[in-house]
């Protein structure tokens, strides 16, 4: 059967959830071949096999961590040459999109970014995208070359589908451009112990209405009572109340959880762009006219300083 390359997103071999979702999608089109770059392939390979990888191509070299983007493009290009895949699926992270773009150009292939679904079609894979701040849904195809598609987190279920997952080393020869941009230093982001924003089943966000960094503890307590990730509007981030890494929206993270809880957020188009595809949306806002209420399944018009603590207490009580 035709093979589909899947670029693995991982932290030292700990495979991130979106990659497992890609394996689910890849199995609809063909046999997934995972490409694992950097350290930790031993840890990753059994997990990838468990989720459908028929083969795991691995390469490790200092270039992958010491230089930006291009070494991974060289490696993925080598994988494409080795396998002749019918499609290449890449996680839609900032880095993933850049890798995919350069790869597509080298392969002479079209690229589709930020797909929220991928299905098999008569003329190759069909990718669904959500555009214009999720006002429209489009379906597109790559008409030239090997389709290169980047896929957003939460686009498919993670499914167990045991396969051979044979590990094979990948031969990579780095080109001249590989060492063009040096990573001089790297400061890992501190873990909060909460779920990853883009992968979380529930996201609880705070906006300008939270009115101060210290008040974000209210949002965090609500999030923790639900086992949720914490998000913030750009207004809250710009005010310095919460880190930019938690921003939801056009220039922050795009999330698509089962439940999105917006607190003190008006619902500007740029915020909606990052959360409108959430399954269930609820909001607390003291302004009954706030546009966020156009999106909600359930909304409370009220002061978040009253409503949120009561909600948290009630959730804790119900959970016992």
Partner 1 sequence: MSLRIVVAVKYVPDATGDRHFADDLTTDREAVDGLLSELDEYAVEQALQIADAADDAEITVLTVGPEDARDALRKALSMGADKAVHVEDDELHGTDAIGTSLVLAKAVEHIGYDLVVTGMASTDGTAGVVPALLAERLGIPQVTLLSEVAVSGGKVTGRRDGDAASEQLEASLPALVSVTDQSGEARYPSFKGIMAAKKKPVESLDLSDLGIDAADVGLGGAWTAVQDATQRPARTAGTIVKDEGEGGKQLAAYLAEQKFI
Please report which helix (H) or strand (E) contains residue 232, including its range.
Answer: strand 229-232
> What's the rounded Cα separation, in Å, for the pair 177 and 294?
49
Q: Which residue's CB is nearer to partner 1, number 2 or number 131? A: 131
Please report how close the Cβ of residue 160 comes to partner 1 at its closest, in angstroms.
23
- In angstroms, what is the minimal distance from the CB of 113 to partner 1? 5
Q: How far is the CB of 269 from ligand FAD (least distance, A)?
A: 7
Q: How far is the CB of 153 from ligand FAD (least distance, A)?
A: 16
Task: State how far the Cα of 194 lies from the Cα of 228, in Å rounded to an integer.
Answer: 7
Nearer Cβ to ligand FAD (30/209): 209
Q: Which CB, 158 or 315, lies closer to partner 1?
A: 315
Dist. CA 173–CA 208, nearest whole Å = 50
Nearer to partner 1, 49 or 73 (CB): 73
What residues contact 313, with CB distance under 8 A and at least 6 apart? none
* Binder of residue 139, out of partner 1, ligand FAD, none (CB less than 5 to 8 A by kind): partner 1
Distances (CA, A) of 181 to 70, 146, 159, 173, 184: 9, 27, 37, 17, 9
Among partner 1, ligand FAD, none, residue 258 binds (CB under 5-8 Å by kind): partner 1
Q: Which helix (H) or strand (E) holds 128?
A: strand 126-131
Which residue, 209 or 299, has its beta carbon nearer to ligand FAD? 209
Partner touching 97 among ligand FAD, partner 1, none, CB below 5 to 8 Å by kind: partner 1
Q: Which of residues 61 and 307 has its CB atom nearest to partner 1 in the complex? A: 307
215 binding partner (options partner 1, ligand FAD, none; Cβ < 5 to 8 Å by kind) = none
Choose from ligand FAD, partner 1, none: what does 72 bind? Cβ within 5-8 Å by kind. none
> Measuring CA to CA, which residue among 48, 41, 51, 47 is closest to residue 12?
41
How many other β-carbons are positioned within 10 Å of the β-carbon of residue 119?
A: 12
Q: Which residues bind ligand FAD (CB under 6 A)?
A: 207-209, 233-236, 247-252, 264-266, 268, 270-271, 274, 284-287, 290, 303-305
CA distance to 66, 154, 261, per residue, from 256 (Å): 32, 6, 12
299 binds, among partner 1, ligand FAD, none (CB under 5 to 8 A by kind): partner 1
Neighbours of 182 (CB within 10 A): 9
CA torsion angle for 109, 110, 114, 120 (degrees, to 10)?
-80
> Minimal CB distance to ligand FAD: which residue?
249
28 or 97, CB closer to partner 1? 97
The site partner of 164 among ligand FAD, partner 1, none (C-beta below 5 to 8 Å per kind) is none
User: What's the alpha-carbon Rg for the chain, to the nearest Å?
Assistant: 21
* Least distance (Å) between residue 224 CB and ligand FAD: 20
């Amino acid at each position: 059967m035709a093979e589909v390359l899947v670029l693995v997103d991982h932290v030292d071999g700990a495979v991130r959830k979106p990659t497992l979702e890609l394996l689910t999608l890849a199995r609809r089109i063909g046999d997934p071949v995972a490409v694992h770059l950097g350290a930790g392939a031993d840890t990753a390979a059994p997990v990838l096999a468990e989720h459908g990888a028929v083969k795991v191509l691995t390469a490790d070299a200092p270039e992958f961590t010491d230089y930006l983007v291009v070494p991974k493009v060289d490696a993925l290009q080598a994988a494409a040459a080795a396998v002749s895949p019918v499609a290449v699926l890449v996680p839609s992270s900032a880095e993933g999109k850049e890798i995919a773009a350069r790869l597509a150009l080298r392969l002479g292939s079209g690229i589709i970014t930020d797909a929220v679904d991928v299905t098999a079609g008569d003329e190759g894979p069909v990718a669904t995208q959500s555009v214009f701040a999720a006002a429209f849904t489009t379906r597109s195809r790559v008409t030239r070359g090997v389709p290169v598609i980047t896929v957003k987190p939460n686009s498919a279920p993670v499914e167990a589908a045991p396969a051979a997952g044979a590990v094979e080393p990948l031969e990579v020869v780095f080109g001249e451009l590989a060492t063009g941009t040096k990573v001089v230093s790297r400061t890992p982001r501190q873990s909060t112990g909460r779920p990853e924003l883009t992968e979380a089943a529930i996201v609880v966000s705070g906006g300008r209405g939270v009115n101060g960094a210290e008040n974000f503890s209210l949002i965090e307590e609500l999030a923790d009572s639900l086992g949720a990730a914490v998000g913030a509007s750009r207004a809250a981030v710009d005010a310095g109340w919460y880190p930019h890494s938690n921003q939801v929206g056009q220039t922050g993270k795009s999330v698509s959880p089962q439940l999105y809880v917006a607190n003190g957020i008006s619902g500007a188009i740029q915020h909606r762009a990052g959360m409108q595809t959430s399954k269930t949306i609820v909001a607390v806002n003291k302004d009954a006219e706030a546009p966020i209420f156009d999106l909600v399944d359930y909304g409370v018009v009220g002061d978040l300083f009253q409503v949120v603590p009561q909600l948290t207490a009630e959730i804790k009580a119900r959970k016992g």
